[in-house]
Amino acid sequence: MKILKEIKQPLLSRTKYEVELDHNNEKTPAKKDLTDNVSSFLKNDKELVVIDKIITKLGSSQSKLIVYVYDDKKSLENLKLKKKHGKKKNKEQSSK
């Protein structure tokens, strides 16, 4: 693993990292599997680390990770993305 960029985002109480990962000709690992490795590499608490994206070029054994490390649990909970359920409601209303 290698850190490509580190961007502090004080208004959002987090730090954004772009990390390069070499997975040695294996399939791209899942976010769940990488959370422990990334948190220990960045020396942060596992609960404050969120892997946003894993970007892999076709046929490559290297991936680029977009990782957010939050300052505390409160800021993480405030910014956590919520799933949208609006499409299902719109279909039900149009069928009535």
CB–CB of 42/49 below 8 Å?
yes
Q: Which residue numbers in the chain have pLDDT < 50?
A: none
Mean pLDDT, the chain, as a whole number? Answer: 83
Here the CATH number for the domain that contains residue 72 is 3.30.70.330
Per the structure, how many domains does the chain have? 1
pLDDT tens per residue, range 47-64: 889 999 989 888 888 889
CA distance 73 to 84: 23
Predicted model pTM: 0.76
Amino acid identity, residue 25? N
Residue range of the domain that includes 22: 2-95
Half-sphere exposure for 47 (CA within 13 Å, toward CB): 6
